[in-house]
């Protein structure tokens, strides 16, 4: 038994924070956590639907289509109104021949080669998003690995390493090496004596020596040992010149650059861990699979202009965006999945509390740029197979395709994935200017960029007329007065979508919010 009480997790994290700073503490926090599956215990168990009961669903994104799919199975008569000329919503892939029209009049026509695509919205599925994985299996959507972490990708900051990109392996190994050395010094100087027992001090030193690849003097230095993790100047080979040459480590100040250490922390995020998936052939394979199950139920090009209800049912005015014809759709109940950015502009007959909630939730934007390159130079020239490269430039990151490895011919590289102010900066550019900026900034990683570029698509979500944003941005201050009003069943109307969740901009959020909404609506229908 120890003579004193062992430190709590909070005390240990505080000690790590004192020595290694916020980055070390953050990594320790995430390393001590465990990824938990989302709140999915199987598809909804709806039974006993009244004969002839009908449900009108507004929006054919994943939230709308899973509602229709499950309620139809339960015996409801379902129909969907969709503003766009395709189902799927943000579950969306752009291929050759597709046209993207923006608010303001800009029009882009995709020229990608057959088989190539850009996922401008969702593009990866975490392993613990069990609802989405369930429906992919049930609907026969083939999945393949999405390469999340690739140590061959780059990390770039114009304030570190003289502005030269570093391989993730180099930056990551140097980060943990320097932090391990600092923590070892703190232990040896007694800085943690009031926090860590004598026995655990010895174990901690041993762990830091191994984890940080420190030498016998507990120093992080250039050696064959560190090079075995971060890479060599000359890797081991055969014959006369087979001996490896170690690489030179970078200094502490470089790894303390925010772009560098935040990249290390990125992969510890609960939804950013390594096992991820993507549908073979594009993310919209999921939406298309749902749509096949709902053949004949989805009315496209239908602009909702008014949503009303009374004690007997729901009445929705809508306009055909192609012909201009106006119609009214009626049903016993309604599941509304229209994004709040649009719904807040439509008259809807619900409580004042729900109206206030609808108009109170801010949204954030994003911009993705898909650059079709003449060949897979990142594979052929630099041995990068999937994964990402990060930068402190406004493009944010590059991402390399996770499928089609070694395939000859053109391929699409994600040349920018922006958020925050950068997303609106890109939205203020023309599509051609966005692509030019992506080419200019991406050249810091790959000198082949301009010579290999063929064509591109630049999708700024705040410019898309059917949503005018990317996804909801709840804050805890807003959730208090508005969240329960948002998700409540109001008479015969219930809302669903990622904005009705604590998950946010993930497809899992749309599915789980919809399953919850239709389960409660079903109970209301049985009691009506």
* d(C-alpha 216, C-alpha 110), whole Å: 58
Whether 172 and 261 map to the same domain: the answer is: yes
The answer to whether residues 179 and 276 touch, using CB atoms and an 8 Å cutoff, is no
* d(C-alpha 102, C-alpha 387), whole Å: 30
Whether 227 and 302 map to the same domain: the answer is: no
Would 169 be classed as within a structural domain?
A: yes
Encode pLDDT of 256-293 as tens digits.
999 999 998 888 887 787 789 999 999 999 999 999 99
Encode pLDDT of 392-438 as tens digits.
999 999 999 999 999 999 999 999 999 999 999 999 999 999 999 99
**CA nearest to 327, candidates 343, 305, 349:** 305
The answer to whether residues 472 and 498 touch, using CB atoms and an 8 Å cutoff, is yes
Whether 78 and 109 map to the same domain: the answer is: no
CATH label of the domain that carries residue 421: 3.90.660.10
The answer to whether residues 116 and 371 touch, using CB atoms and an 8 Å cutoff, is no
**CA nearest to 316, candidates 328, 324, 332:** 328
Q: How confident is the model at residue 62 (pLDDT cuts 50, 70, 90)?
A: very high
User: What pLDDT, on a 0 to 100 scale, did the predictor assign at position 42?
Assistant: 81
Whether 451 and 352 map to the same domain: the answer is: no
Would 520 be classed as within a structural domain?
A: yes
Whether 177 and 236 map to the same domain: the answer is: yes
Whether 316 and 333 map to the same domain: the answer is: yes
The answer to whether residues 174 and 250 touch, using CB atoms and an 8 Å cutoff, is yes
pLDDT of 30 > 70? The answer is no
* d(C-alpha 88, C-alpha 81), whole Å: 12
Last residue in a domain, options 419, 436, 463: 463
Would 137 be classed as within a structural domain?
A: no
Q: How confident is the model at residue 43 (pLDDT cuts 50, 70, 90)?
A: confident
Would 28 be classed as within a structural domain?
A: yes
Going from the C-alpha of 60 to that of each of 89, 135, 162, 167, 308, the distances in angstroms are 6, 16, 49, 42, 20
* d(C-alpha 361, C-alpha 497), whole Å: 13
User: What pLDDT, on a 0 to 100 scale, did the predictor assign at position 37?
Assistant: 65
pLDDT of 7 > 50? The answer is no
Range of the domain at 323: 54-89+294-361+474-527
Q: What are phi and psi of 480, to 5 degrees?
A: -50, -60
Q: How confident is the model at residue 36 (pLDDT cuts 50, 70, 90)?
A: low
Would 351 be classed as within a structural domain?
A: yes
Three-state SS annotation for 1-16: CCCCCCCCHHHHHHHH
CATH label of the domain that carries residue 203: 1.20.1440.240
Whether 98 and 85 map to the same domain: the answer is: no
User: What pLDDT, on a 0 to 100 scale, did the predictor assign at position 49?
Assistant: 86
Core vs surface per residue 18-53: b (16+ CB within 10 A) or e: ebbeebbbbbbbbeeeeeeebebeebbebeebeeeb
Q: How confident is the model at residue 24 (pLDDT cuts 50, 70, 90)?
A: very low
Residue 321 is classified by DSSP as: T
Where residue 491 falls (left for φ over 0; alpha for ψ -120 to 50; beta otherwise) is: left
* d(C-alpha 473, C-alpha 495), whole Å: 17
User: What pLDDT, on a 0 to 100 scale, did the predictor assign at position 33?
Assistant: 37
Total domain count for the chain? 3
Would 134 be classed as within a structural domain?
A: no
Whether 167 and 259 map to the same domain: the answer is: yes
User: What pLDDT, on a 0 to 100 scale, did the predictor assign at position 90?
Assistant: 96
The mean of the pLDDT values for the chain is: 92
Going from the C-alpha of 277 to that of each of 125, 402, 512, the distances in angstroms are 5, 9, 19
């Amino acid at each position: 038994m120890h003579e004193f009480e062992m430190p709590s997790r909070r005390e240990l994290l505080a000690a790590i924070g004192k020595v290694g700073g916020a980055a070390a503490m953050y990594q320790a926090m995430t390393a001590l956590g465990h990824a938990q599956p989302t709140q999915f215990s199987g598809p909804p168990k709806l039974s006993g639907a009244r004969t002839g009961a009908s449900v009108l669903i507004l929006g054919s994104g994943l939230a709308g289509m899973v509602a229709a799919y499950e309620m139809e199975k339960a015996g409801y008569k379902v129909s969907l109104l969709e503003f766009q000329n395709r189902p799927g919503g943000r579950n969306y892939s752009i291929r050759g021949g597709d046209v993207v029209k923006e608010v303001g009049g800009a029009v882009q026509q995709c020229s990608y080669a057959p088989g190539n695509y850009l996922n401008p919205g969702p593009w990866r599925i975490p392993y613990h998003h069990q609802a989405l994985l369930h429906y992919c299996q049930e609907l026969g959507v083939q999945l393949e690995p999405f390469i999340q972490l690739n140590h061959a990708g780059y990390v770039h900051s114009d304030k570190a390493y003289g502005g030269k990109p570093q391989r993730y392996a180099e930056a990551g190994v140097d980060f943990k090496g320097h932090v391990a050395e600092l923590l070892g010094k703190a232990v040896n100087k007694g800085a943690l004596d009031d926090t860590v027992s004598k026995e655990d001090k010895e174990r901690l030193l041993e762990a830091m020596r191994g984890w940080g690849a420190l030498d016998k003097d507990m120093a992080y230095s250039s050696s064959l040992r560190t090079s075995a993790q971060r890479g060599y100047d000359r890797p081991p080979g055969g014959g006369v010149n087979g001996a490896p040459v170690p690489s030179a480590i970078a200094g502490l100040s470089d790894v303390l650059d925010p772009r560098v250490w935040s990249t290390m922390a990125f992969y510890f995020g609960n939804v950013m861990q390594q096992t991820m998936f993507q549908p073979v052939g594009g993310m919209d394979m999921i939406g298309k699979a749902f749509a096949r199950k709902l053949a004949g139920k989805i009315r496209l090009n239908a602009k909702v202009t008014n949503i009303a209800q009374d004690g007997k049912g729901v009445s929705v005015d809508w306009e055909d965006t192609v012909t201009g014809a106006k119609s009214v759709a009626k049903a016993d109940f309604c599941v509304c999945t229209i994004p709040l950015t649009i719904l807040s502009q439509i008259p809807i007959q619900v409580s004042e509390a729900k109206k206030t909630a609808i108009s109170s939730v801010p949204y954030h934007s994003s911009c993705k740029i898909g650059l079709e390159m003449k060949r897979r130079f990142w594979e052929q020239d630099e041995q990068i197979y999937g994964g990402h490269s990060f930068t402190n430039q406004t493009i944010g990151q590059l991402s390399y395709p996770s499928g089609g490895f070694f395939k000859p011919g053109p391929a699409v590289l994600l040349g920018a994935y922006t958020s925050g102010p950068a997303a609106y900066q890109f939205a203020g550019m023309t599509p051609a200017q966005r692509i030019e900026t992506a080419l200019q900034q991406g050249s810091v990683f790959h000198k082949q960029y301009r010579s290999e570029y063929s064509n591109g698509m630049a999708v700024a979500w705040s410019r898309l007329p059917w949503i005018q944003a990317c996804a909801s941005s709840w804050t805890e201050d807003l959730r208090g007065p508005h969240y329960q009003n948002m998700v409540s069943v109001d008479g015969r109307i219930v809302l669903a979508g990622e904005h009705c969740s604590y998950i946010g901009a993930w497809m899992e959020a749309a599915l789980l919010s919809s399953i919850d909404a239709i389960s409660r609506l079903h109970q209301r229908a049985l009691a009506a």
